[in-house]
Chain A
Amino acid sequence: MRSLLRRCTSLIALLLLLSLGLTGCWNYAEVDDMAIVAGVAIDKNEDGELLLTAEVVDTGGSADKAQAGYKMVSLSGDTMFEIVRNMISMTGKKLFWSHAKAIIISEEAAREGLVKVIDWYSRDTETRSDVFIFVSGEKTAREVLNLNSTTEAILSFELAQMMRDERYTNTAPTVEIWDFIDKLETSGINATAPIIHIHRKNGEESERVVGTAVFVKDRMVGKLSGDETKTMLIVKNVLKGGVLAVDDKRGNPAYSLEIISNQTKLKHQMVDGKLQIDIRTVTKTALDEVMTPDGFLKDETLQDIEQRAAEQLQADILALIHKMQQEYDADIFGFGESLYENQPKLWDKVKDRWPEVFAGLEVSVKSKVTIQSSAKTSRAIRLGD
């Protein structure tokens, strides 16, 4: 009897103790008590304060609505986190950041330095650092985020989808925030970010991601066009696809080469106290479009096209590198990093004055383009008489 009593007491004690541990999450929060942030735009307002605009997914609404809506919340303040918390006074709900997909930063804010904007984002535990970063090509970042998106209900999610498919076009770099910070911290490489524009046609507006913002340290210094971006990606050896347009003999655009794979090798050497870099690219392509009845196996052979594509690529690469050297002193290609990785002793000699060394770098480029197939047809379309 006594032992039964004891057993009962200890059982009750155990249950009481367990009830302490099993009550569930301490920081318990219901989904409908949170405002899910899809993306955020960061601007400077007239007073020089940060202006944060969050695209918040509208979880309310009836069940028959096929797609979720969104709402915009804007607030300005001194620091990012202050604004984020103060936004509760506008949404009534705490913002939930784990699902955010895009950060759009206005050019003005980007030119003033990004560390003050992105530190909170990469430090805080509520945010995730796999969010895509963009620089607005318009006056403000807010107006881009405000657009009606084309295929998905929420612009930020559409942007994320776009970045995933960027490997087919390769006219903008895909940069997640951790990647951006990694480039900031690594010496011998400068950070880049894609540029997002508003594309206006026939009174309709849609977003368009094309081109690259070039950073020196954490400040934006310049822009690259879409074609220059493709060239940059080739030099960086990260190109995954895309199209090379090649002119015919008379200089009219005539051929499209779909890039299957690209391999770029860098070689550094010191000649007479001057650093030289030798770039070799090998691009495998497929001929996917012939726009003239005269070309392709009539007037010119495959070798001619390959040759012309290679020359064009060489000229593009050289032009881009010279632009970087002369205008921005920005080593977006990671020449310094590759020098450090392959010839660390040489790097030690030049690392303190790398921007100047980069500006005076002698570059030689050798490109090779091979055409591996011509898709389904073996010749150009013949015109009958």
Chain B
Amino acid sequence: MSKEIIPAGQSISIAVLFITGASLFLGTSSQSGNSSWIAQCLAILLALPLMLVYARLHVLFPGKDLYDMLIEVFGSILGRMLCCLYIWYALHLGALVLRNFGEFSKTVALTATPMLAPMLMIGLLCMWVVHAGIEVLGRSAKFLLLFSLIVIVILQLLSVPKFEYHHLKPLLHTRFNLILADTAGSFTFPFAEIVVFLGAFSAIPAKGSAKRVLVSSTLIAGGIIIMITLRNLLMLGPDILSSLYFPSYVAVSRINIGDFVTRIEGSAAIVFVTALFVKVSLCLYVTCNGVAKVFKLGSYRSVVLQMGLIMIYLSDFIYSNIMEMEEFAYHIYKVYALPFEVVIPVVLWLTAELLARRRNSRHKALPEQQPEGS
């Protein structure tokens, strides 16, 4: 199996689109009303140390991905069990995001079309790109990010006439626990979801670029998300915002430039789909990669079709309606995701540091042995 490498710029594009993915149309959890953007800032600050932990893992295990690390550190049995958990996490996350898209298209665009149809189309596309390899995904992400950024910035500028700045006042007059709840929500979804990217770490070139990729993509994606949160807040106000499933879509539908540029929300939805495409693809890639590692397959490509179809089907039956989806995304998810995003990676990191220390001291005890490449 030839080794696939994606340059830092492309991995940043993947990561940015991955993080912004679902929050572009779902918005972020907003119990704290007009302080939600502060919660976002806190979430980014909270996410940065975690990114450094992830990046450190890349330094400790150059050229390896999450599954290799787990198996190497925790042994072949326990490691494989943890791998299975991560396979589930990636598969489930991909299904959730796909479902978000399905609900979106059923609610606002194609109301009479069964949800499975658009999800299947996007799903097939994702399977295709994963089968083609992560390099293809990287290149398309770079292009799609550029495109999405242009659209997002244009939308932002067109929204400015509808901004009502008094929605920002009074600053920080929300109960602090609500802000913290929002911070926890935004931290787990979307920022720390990037843990999935660990499953593709073997594709990042060795020399310290993991730190650059993770930190800069968190900052860029955080900037985009704060921008969008602020736009929705300023256009819709905290009261209406809390009642909407797809606040960004509604905010964009309010844009009206001289009765000429109106009703552009349909076109704006393209951005949602591009970001979602990258997110689902990465989830699918990581799922397949994990299956390949656990069962020692020659290549992950042999399971792409199967896992992809399972993911699409899972997304179809995982919730019975949109209210359940919202309940899960905003209230249950932040508890459910914590072990995957924080607990296991941090334990992995600490154990790996210990092992590396021990190895180093053994090196010192045997000075005649040649030091391995730094």
Among A25, A126, A181, the residue within 8 A (CB) of B240 is A181
Asked if B296 is at the interface of the complex by the 8 Å CB criterion, the answer is no
Closest chain A residue to B164, Cβ basis: A182
Asked if A9 is at the interface of the complex by the 8 Å CB criterion, the answer is no
Per-position 1/0 for B72-110, Cβ under 8 A of A: 000000000000000000000000000000000001101
Q: How big is the B interface, by class? A: 20 to 34
Are B253 and A128 neighbours in the complex by a CB distance under 8 Å? yes
Are B170 and A340 neighbours in the complex by a CB distance under 8 Å? yes
A19: chain B residues within 8 A (beta carbon): none
Whole-angstrom distance from the CB of B355 to the nearest CB of chain A? 48
Take A26-B117, A164-B259 as given contacts and tell me if A125 and B108 are in contact as well, using a CB distance cutoff of 8 Å. yes
Are B107 and A186 neighbours in the complex by a CB distance under 8 Å? no
A340: chain B residues within 8 A (beta carbon): 170
Are A186 and B237 neighbours in the complex by a CB distance under 8 Å? yes
Whole-angstrom distance from the CB of A284 to the nearest CB of chain B? 22
Asked if A342 is at the interface of the complex by the 8 Å CB criterion, the answer is yes
Asked if A96 is at the interface of the complex by the 8 Å CB criterion, the answer is no
Take A21-B121, A178-B254, A341-B166 as given contacts and tell me if A125 and B111 are in contact as well, using a CB distance cutoff of 8 Å. yes
User: Whole-angstrom distance between the alpha carbons of A82 and B250 in the complex?
Assistant: 25
B250: chain A residues within 8 A (beta carbon): 129
Whole-angstrom distance from the CB of A254 to the nearest CB of chain B? 38
Are B107 and A125 neighbours in the complex by a CB distance under 8 Å? yes
B173: chain A residues within 8 A (beta carbon): 344
User: Whole-angstrom distance between the alpha carbons of A123 and B253 in the complex?
Assistant: 14
Among B108, B169, B237, the residue within 8 A (CB) of A342 is B169
Closest chain A residue to B109, Cβ basis: A125
User: Whole-angstrom distance between the alpha carbons of A344 and B170 in the complex?
Assistant: 7
Asked if A185 is at the interface of the complex by the 8 Å CB criterion, the answer is yes
Asked if A89 is at the interface of the complex by the 8 Å CB criterion, the answer is no
Are A130 and B117 neighbours in the complex by a CB distance under 8 Å? no
Asked if A252 is at the interface of the complex by the 8 Å CB criterion, the answer is no
Per-position 1/0 for A330-344, Cβ under 8 A of B: 000000000011111
User: Whole-angstrom distance between the alpha carbons of A25 and B112 in the complex?
Assistant: 10
User: Whole-angstrom distance between the alpha carbons of A341 and B171 in the complex?
Assistant: 8
Are A185 and B239 neighbours in the complex by a CB distance under 8 Å? yes
Within 8 A of B (CB), among A28-50: none
User: Whole-angstrom distance between the alpha carbons of A181 and B110 in the complex?
Assistant: 26
User: Whole-angstrom distance between the alpha carbons of A281 and B29 in the complex?
Assistant: 39
Asked if A27 is at the interface of the complex by the 8 Å CB criterion, the answer is yes
B117: chain A residues within 8 A (beta carbon): 26
Within 8 A of B (CB), among A286-318: none
User: Whole-angstrom distance between the alpha carbons of A341 and B121 in the complex?
Assistant: 47
Whole-angstrom distance from the CB of A120 to the nearest CB of chain B? 15
Take A341-B169, A344-B170 as given contacts and tell me if A182 and B239 are in contact as well, using a CB distance cutoff of 8 Å. yes
Residues of A at the B interface (CB closer than 8 Å) are: 17, 21, 25-27, 125-126, 128-130, 164, 178, 181-182, 185-186, 340-344
